[in-house]
A and B are shown apart, each in its own frame.
Chain A
């Protein structure tokens, strides 16, 4: 189900949450809305889902050819998974998932058996089989998240909307669920949009990433496109570590990623700059050097392999030469 958003504006009092959003999402895609707090990504998600509406006359939301801008959530068939799950605390897991089917009007409501089959099937799909009689209070965070997902899927939604789905979970659980969600999406194929402020998550999971800042879209593209060809300084800085460097004799600022900083021996002729290693951090897959550039007194972060670290025999206090590959301003 494709989604087309045009010229969306949303203002809260004097705060402009969305300043004219234009977005097209194709069928079956897994899309990330990525941005810092206050960028408008959750507002956009809620408007797509029918939980909020644009300012009067300011924009439209078209789902699969139908203009649903003024239609309330109940009529949109957009499955929504909330940041804190919003499970119905007094209902069992089964009753939670069955809810969307049981509130259907008489005419479209499936039989009790049909509902039962569908609920159990969904629970198996999210790997919560056997837990249908439990109450939400008896489940872990990750389990509750999957119940919320099953509940949203029960209504056969045209689009699945996830609001910071892994925000409230531990790092390890987050990683596992991320992997799981990717496989899950491939299996069920429903157009899915999720909101996150974690760029790692967005880049790992999504087919398409929409980078937002201060109510506007900075760039839309695949994770690779965004990382390799950022369109604006904001995107560049948001999607990874960045150094801002001034070359001697040049007034402008260059952006360099830590892994693009080449470390040479102090006397190497191809060194553009010279620096002292102020701090060395090697407790990980690569080594992170914090360098103090002698020419400009600025600091520079550099990532080198552990191998290079050992081969050059570097330690804190050493002087090195710096060559910047692939610079960009």
Chain B
């Protein structure tokens, strides 16, 4: 129990003061900006809001955001499962190095995350001439944005699964194998159900970041309206044109995404907490 018992309780005035400071801080830094997004989005009325989010460029931005997420998230999920299986179920040298490398994208600035792809596939990049001669476009096109997003959201699923699978151990899988199950059957029927909440959790975090990523895709996108603007980039364009109502209208959609992610996250934590109690 982490809450205070009567013998170790802070005095009332301390509690009131600290709770007050906390609420004040969170209000100022989190809730007021959030409220502002919605206030500004609807400031010019519902019609302006509706127009802003159904306008052609906005729709293609939404579509592009969804496409990028739809490709990057499953890819990173598969990677996450593969990496956690290798790391949690086997012992081999270099494991901690591997773990640090997986964490790498977390430490790298989003701008640098986009830059690396420009250096590889940009017009003056390593593969630039080769791509040009084959009439392939990666930078300033959707493939580049997918690559940048994959890079940035790379660790999310793995980071959720690895500690969990390490803590769960291998006993159940051994049992399944000894009963005659194949590797795939073991994975599908034994491992997967045990990690499903962590997997779900990692996927929604990965998705939130994938849809909301700005810096990395900004570098590789070229900002071509209607073609290579994801929703966050579209928001930037609108904002820079001083079309703040439309910008915030689109931003509110992204905010709802963020809030939904938080709600799902809380739900999963509650469910996992319940399950742990049952054991």
Contacts and interface: CB of A to CB of B under 8 A. Distances in A.
Nearest to B6: A53
Contacts of B4: none
A52 B7 CA distance: 6
A53 B6 CA distance: 8
B9 to A, nearest CB: 9
Contacts of B5: 51-52
Q: Is the interface of A mostly helix, strand, loop or mixed?
A: loop
Nearest to B9: A72
A32 B99 CA distance: 53
A126 interface: no
B193 to A, nearest CB: 35
Interface in A50-80: 50-53, 72-73
A43 to B, nearest CB: 12
Interface string A103-124: 0000000000000000000000
Interface residues of B, number: 3
A51 to B, nearest CB: 4
Contacts of A46: 7
A275 B68 CA distance: 85
Interface string A67-102: 000001100000000000000000000000000000
Interface string B5-31: 111000000000000000000000000
Interface residues of A, number: 7
Contacts of B6: 52-53
A73 B5 CA distance: 12
Contacts of B7: 46, 50-52, 72-73
A247 to B, nearest CB: 49
B81 to A, nearest CB: 38
A52 B6 CA distance: 7
Contacts of A53: 6
A44 to B, nearest CB: 15
Interface string A28-61: 0000000000000000001000111100000000
A72 B10 CA distance: 12
Nearest to A73: B7
B94 to A, nearest CB: 30
A83 B263 CA distance: 41
A35 B12 CA distance: 37
A81 B7 CA distance: 16
A263 B7 CA distance: 57
A68 to B, nearest CB: 13
B128 to A, nearest CB: 56
B7 to A, nearest CB: 4
A127 to B, nearest CB: 31
A50 to B, nearest CB: 7
A73 to B, nearest CB: 5
A263 B193 CA distance: 62
A51 B6 CA distance: 7
B87 to A, nearest CB: 29
Contacts of A73: 7
A73 B6 CA distance: 10
Contacts of A52: 5-7
10 contacts: A46-B7, A50-B7, A51-B5, A51-B7, A52-B5, A52-B6, A52-B7, A53-B6, A72-B7, A73-B7
Given A46-B7, A51-B7, A73-B7, 6 more contacts: A50-B7, A51-B5, A52-B5, A52-B7, A53-B6, A72-B7
Return the 3 tightest CB-CB contacts between A and B, nearest first. Answer: A51-B7, A73-B7, A53-B6
